[in-house]
Each structure stands twice: as structure tokens, then as C-alpha cells.
DNA sequence: CTGGATTGTTGATCCAGGTTAAGGCGCGCC
DNA sequence: GGCGCGCCTTAACCTGGATCAACAATCCAG
């Protein structure tokens, strides 16, 4: 019961991967896990995947926030994206048992793991899963391309505004947002690692946004006071 | 005959997508195109795809160099990757008829287009195609992640060294390279757009590499004099 | 041969963001 | 309470790369 209900209560509405997978399975007894699925939890800060590690499971984030990243030899890291409930760790984990990235939990999280071979088998018989995987690939590729162009071409305030707008969209896809207040459990260090700036400069830019009445990030809530201005700064062509 | 022989003579050896597709098809008469395939050429500089445009075809580059990019509102562009013979324009064009990127030819090129619905149909019956698509997705995602971390975290010389090393690997996968001389038909402006620098600064860094006896790019050939040093500068963790 | 376009080089100057450091605030723990 | 530890903020300074500008080299078109 645990994993199924968790996945049903927090599907990724944009992509619907988890939903497609579950719909393709016959209903199992309400209080036991099918043998092709397992369930994990991790605490804030725990590393949940490591580059070059292999795993027979494909994981979906059921609750909490996490992120994928690449570690550099000098100790710095680049965050590739943040994972929200309903997200696959990465859609390519369906095709490759070896992780090409590392991942950590931002908050406490719950993960649902599906046996890869089971997904691939279902894929052959279920057009629903197949197209869900296709949509995930398209989305991951689109987001990665956007991030490349933001990191390659845009200034500090544009990068941070872009990150906020991107996350705001993803949060809105999952829950109703009131008064432009978005739950955002991110330390400035994480924002820095995501947009390729130092924490010091992130603090400066956030201070600027605050002073200009654009948005305020505190207590894990992003309060957007002037959405139009944020959009103007962070929108990508 | 044209398209088939071209694809067979320049398969992407890393990924083998084109080969997998062709192997799955019954041999057609040697001098006519099957109706699910067509063949295009473009001249250097031609735009071969535009963001948000839709197409019923999935294209493979058969000869020449091209690149995918995102255009920014201010006129700048970020190159997402360079396309070498055998590359799909992007693997996600198999799943989405709408391009999420633009693309241009660097040199004169030849493209082979496959009707998308035909690929998807073959996918259902051919495990070879399915796994080739999977491998393409893994590779595209890995390369995109690396580029994100390079743009987010690394200095100008590291970025350019990384680009060179990355392209050298891809060129070596396609043809024998003698004396560390790699064919590289790139203007400095393209290198700049790929690594997020200005052409002026690219020139300075290339000058530095030349002075330090690391490598020389001229006449569309990259002559690598000190591979170890280039590797030291550009290697990612 | 000449004029113009394209590309690359080099120098001078500027500035966005990095670096370093110090201090403040909140919070858990002894 | 006091103390240590994260985290944020702010200030002073530095620097890598952008910007601006001049010029050389190459290649065509006429």
C-alpha cells in the first residue's frame, strides 16, 4: 500500500511517468509491495546516487526535494537539476544501469524504486509507458539545453531569475500556489552550485532582488512580489 | 542507393543508430529510396532546423559538420553540441515532432531523413533499434551534463581544452587520426558560441595554447602537440 | 590589381563576479 | 546561560574575461 499510494498521491503531473507505470500494473493487494518495486527513504543531505555506480532499480522521487550533480576534481560541484516529487532521478536510468551523475537529498525524501527489467518489459507491451518515457526524454533534454544556454550566456541576476522561474513552473505543476509564495527548501549554497556562482554573489543578487521588491527568499519560501519583473529578467528567448 | 550507401559508409560507430535502423529494413532496390526515407543537402551556414518548427522526419547527418544551438533574444546564441557524421540531429526528435533547438550546417552537409512514424513502428518490433535509441539518450544526456558543469564551473582555457578533447574523441571514433592532427572546421566564433566566451578571448586562449606548445588550430586542422598537457587542463573529474 | 568582406590578433580599458575576511543571527547542545 | 556551528550579509579588494578599437591577413568579386 505504501509505495502505490505515495506514487498516486504525488504524480508528476507534467510527465505522468509514475502514473503510467502504475496504471499498467494489475492491482496488487493493498498492503504489500509487488516484487518489482521497492521503497526507500533518505534524510536531508544523504547521497542517494553516485556517479559510475550501477543499480538494477529505476527510482522515482515520491516526496521531498533532491538534486542531481557532477562533482569536479577540485571539490566544486555543478547541480544539473533539482528533483521534485514525481520526477524520475533521470529518465536515462531506464536505459543505463550505470549512473552518469551523483544525487543528494535536499530535504528528507521518499523514493520508489522499480526494477529496470520490469519497466523495459512493460515498455514493450504498453504504449502508455513508452510515450511517457519519450516525453520525459524530451523534457530532460529541453531543460538541459536551456541550462546550458543560461550558464553559457547570461549574467548572475538573469541566471538566478531563470532558476526561480523554472522552479516556480515546476512547483505550480504539482500544487496550488497562493499569493505567489512558493515552497523552496534551498540554501544559497545550493542555488550557487546550480547557477555557477559563488554563495557570496548569490547573496548579493538576492539582496538586490529584495531591495528592488522583486522577490524574497527566506524560511524556505520564495515570495514573489513582482512576477512581471522577475520574468523580464529571467525569461529566455 | 544514395542514402543507404551514405549511411552505411559513415555510421556513428559509438552509437550505431543509423546502422541499427538500416539493418532492420529489408534490402530495397539498390538505386531507389524507400518511401520512408529521404535525402537532403545543405551548404555551409544554412539553417537546417529552427526552434518550435515541426517536422515529420528524423534526420541523421551523413557527411559534414553541423551544430545545434539556442538563440537568445539579444542575438547571441549558445551552441548545444556539434554534430558529426552519423549523429542524429538529436535523439529526442524521435519522440517529439517539434524541435526544441535550432541547427545550422558548419560545412556543406548531407542529411538523411527517416519518417518518424516508421522509426517508432520499427522500434516496437526491433530490440536493436530500441536499445540504440536508449544508448543515444544516455550519451546525449551525459554530454549535456558535462557541458553544463564545464560552463558553470570552469575557466576559459579549461573550457576550450575540454571542447577540443571532447571533439577529438568523437573524431577518433569515426576515422583514423594520424600525428595528432584532427580535422576541425571551426571558426573561432563557433568555438566562442560553444564554450560561452567571446571570439576575442578565444583567440587569446588559442594564442596561449600555441605559445605553450599545446596545440595549434589553423586551416581547419587542430594539431595537438602536447596531448598530455591538453588533457591536464581540460579533463573533467 | 583593387576594394570590401571575413577572420584573426593584439592592446587598452572596464567591470561583473570571485576572493577574503569580518560580523550577525538563529539554533541546538553542553 | 554560554558556546559552537551553519548560514547569511556586507565590505574591500582583485582578476578573468568582456568590451572597444585598431590593424593584419586572406580571400574573392569586379
> Tell me: the pLDDT tens digits for B9-46?
334 443 355 555 555 554 555 566 677 778 899 999 99
* Count of C-beta atoms within a 10 Å radius of residue A91: 24
Helix or strand (DSSP H, E) at B162 = helix B156-172
CB of A52 closer than 8 Å to CB of A28: no
**Cα–Cα distance, A16 to A2 (Å, whole number):** 19
- CA/C1' separation A106–D8 (Å): 18
Q: What is the distance of C-alpha B27 from the center of its chain?
A: 28
- Is the C-beta atom of B128 closer than 7 angstroms to strand D? no
**Cα–Cα distance, B158 to A155 (Å, whole number):** 20
- Is the C-beta atom of A154 closer than 7 angstroms to strand D? no
CB of A16 closer than 8 Å to CB of A91: no
Residues of B in contact with A153 (CB under 8 A): 72, 76, 78, 196
Q: What is the distance of C-alpha B175 from the center of its chain?
A: 15
Rounded to the nearest angstrom, the minimum Cα separation between A1 and chain B is 32
pLDDT of residue A25: 53
- CA/C1' separation A74–C27 (Å): 31
Residues of A in contact with B151 (CB under 8 A): 148, 151-152, 196
- Is the C-beta atom of B200 closer than 7 angstroms to strand D? yes
The torsion angles phi and psi of B147, rounded to 5 degrees, stand at -65, -40
pLDDT of residue B35: 74
CB of B150 closer than 8 Å to CB of B197: no
Q: What is the distance of C-alpha B103 from the center of its chain?
A: 10
What positions of strand D are covered by protein, i.e. any atom < 7 Å from a CB?
7-11, 16-21
Mean pLDDT of B140-159: 98
Question: To 10 degrees, the CA torsion angle through B155, B157, B158, B161?
Answer: 160
Choose among A68, A140, A151: nearest Cβ to B151. Answer: A151
What is the radius of gyration, based on Cα positions, of chain B? 18
Rounded to the nearest angstrom, the minimum Cα separation between B55 and chain A is 15
| Three-class SS state of B26 | coil
E-state strands within chain A? 37-42, 47-49, 57-63, 66-71, 77-83, 102-105, 109-115, 181-183, 215-218, 221-224
**A153:B80 CB<8 A:** no
pLDDT of residue B20: 59
Residues of B in contact with A156 (CB under 8 A): none
Confidence label for B124 from pLDDT (cuts 50, 70 and 90): confident
Residues of A in contact with B71 (CB under 8 A): 237
- Is the C-beta atom of A97 closer than 7 angstroms to strand D? no
E-state strands within A33-141? 37-42, 47-49, 57-63, 66-71, 77-83, 102-105, 109-115
Tell which wins on pLDDT, B9 or B150: B150
Give the mean pLDDT of chain B: 89
Tell which wins on pLDDT, A130 or B203: B203
Report helix angle A156-172 to A188-195, nearest 10: 110
pLDDT of residue A176: 96
**B148:A80 CB<8 A:** yes
**Cα–Cα distance, A95 to A118 (Å, whole number):** 12
pLDDT of residue B1: 32
The C-alpha cell that represents B140 in the structure block: 546525449
Specify which residue's alpha carbon is closest to the C1' of nucleotide C18. Answer: A198
pLDDT digits (tens, 9 = 90+) for B204-215: 999 999 999 999
List the single best residue of A137, A146, A190 to mutate versus B (max B Cβ within 10 A): A137
pLDDT of residue B32: 66
DSSP classification of residue A222: E
Q: What is the distance of C-alpha B24 from the center of its chain?
A: 24
- Measuring CA to CA, how many Å separate A110 from each of A83, A113, A140, A183, B169? 12, 10, 21, 18, 39
Least Cα distance to B212 among B194, B226, B233 occurs for: B226
CB of B147 closer than 8 Å to CB of B70: no
* Residues in chain B whose Cβ is within 8 Å of chain A: 68, 70-73, 76, 78, 80, 90-92, 94-96, 100-101, 124, 131, 134-135, 137-138, 140-142, 144-149, 151-154, 195-196, 235-237
**Cα–Cα distance, B86 to B118 (Å, whole number):** 19
**B149:A100 CB<8 A:** no
Find all residues with CB under 8 Å of B157, minimum gap 6, and list them.
B205, B208, B209, B233
**B141:A92 CB<8 A:** yes
**Cα–Cα distance, B208 to B202 (Å, whole number):** 10
Angle at CA B105, nearest 5°, toward B45 and B130? 165
- Is the C-beta atom of B197 closer than 7 angstroms to strand D? yes
CB of B136 closer than 8 Å to CB of B86: no
Residue of chain B nearest A74, judged by CA positions: B237
**Cα–Cα distance, B39 to B63 (Å, whole number):** 12
- Is the C-beta atom of B196 closer than 7 angstroms to strand D? yes
Specify which residue's alpha carbon is closest to the C1' of nucleotide D9. Answer: A203
Residue of chain B nearest A147, judged by CA positions: B148
Least Cα distance to A114 among A129, A136, A100, A131 occurs for: A129
**Cα–Cα distance, A62 to A109 (Å, whole number):** 7
The C-alpha cell that represents A74 in the structure block: 577540485
Least Cα distance to B147 among B133, B134, B160, B132 occurs for: B160
pLDDT digits (tens, 9 = 90+) for B67-107: 999 999 999 999 999 999 999 999 999 999 999 999 999 99
Helix or strand (DSSP H, E) at B40 = strand B37-42
Residues linked to residue B163 through DSSP beta bridges, in sequence order: none
pLDDT in 10s for each residue of chain A, 237 residues: 333 333 333 344 434 555 555 555 545 555 666 777 788 999 999 999 999 999 999 999 999 999 999 999 999 999 999 999 999 999 999 999 999 999 999 999 999 999 999 998 888 888 888 899 999 999 999 999 999 999 999 999 999 999 999 999 999 999 999 999 999 999 999 999 999 999 999 999 999 999 999 999 999 999 999 999 999 999 998
CB of B101 closer than 8 Å to CB of B67: no
pLDDT of residue B38: 85
Rounded to the nearest angstrom, the minimum Cα separation between A147 and chain B is 7
- Is the C-beta atom of A45 closer than 7 angstroms to strand D? no
Choose among A95, A138, A235: nearest Cβ to B95. Answer: A138
Amino acid at each position: 500500500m505504501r509505495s502505490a499510494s505515495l506514487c498516486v498521491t504525488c504524480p508528476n503531473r507534467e510527465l505522468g511517468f509514475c502514473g503510467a507505470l502504475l496504471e499498467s500494473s494489475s492491482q496488487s493487494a493493498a498492503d504489500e509491495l509487488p516484487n518489482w518495486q521497492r521503497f526507500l527513504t533518505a534524510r536531508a543531505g544523504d547521497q542517494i546516487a553516485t556517479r559510475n555506480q550501477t543499480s538494477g532499480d529505476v527510482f522515482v522521487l515520491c516526496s521531498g526535494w533532491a538534486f542531481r550533480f557532477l562533482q569536479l576534481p577540485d571539490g566544486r560541484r555543478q547541480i544539473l537539476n533539482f528533483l521534485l516529487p514525481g520526477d524520475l532521478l533521470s529518465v536515462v536510468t531506464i536505459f543505463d544501469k550505470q549512473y552518469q551523475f551523483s544525487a543528494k537529498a535536499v530535504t528528507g525524501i521518499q523514493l520508489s524504486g522499480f526494477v529496470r527489467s520490469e519497466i523495459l518489459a512493460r515498455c514493450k507491451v504498453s504504449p502508455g509507458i513508452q510515450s511517457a518515457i519519450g516525453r520525459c526524454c524530451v523534457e530532460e533534454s529541453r531543460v538541459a539545453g536551456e541550462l546550458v544556454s543560461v550558464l553559457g550566456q547570461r549574467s548572475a541576476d538573469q541566471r538566478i531569475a531563470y532558476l526561480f522561474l523554472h522552479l516556480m513552473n515546476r512547483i505550480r505543476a504539482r500544487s496550488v500556489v497562493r499569493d505567489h509564495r512558493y515552497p523552496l527548501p534551498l540554501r544559497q549554497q545550493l542555488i550557487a552550485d546550480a547557477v555557477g556562482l559563488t554563495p557570496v554573489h548569490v547573496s548579493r543578487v538576492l539582496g538586490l532582488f529584495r531591495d528592488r521588491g522583486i522577490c524574497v527568499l527566506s524560511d524556505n519560501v520564495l515570495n514573489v512580489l513582482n512576477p512581471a519583473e522577475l520574468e523580464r529578467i529571467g525569461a529566455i528567448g
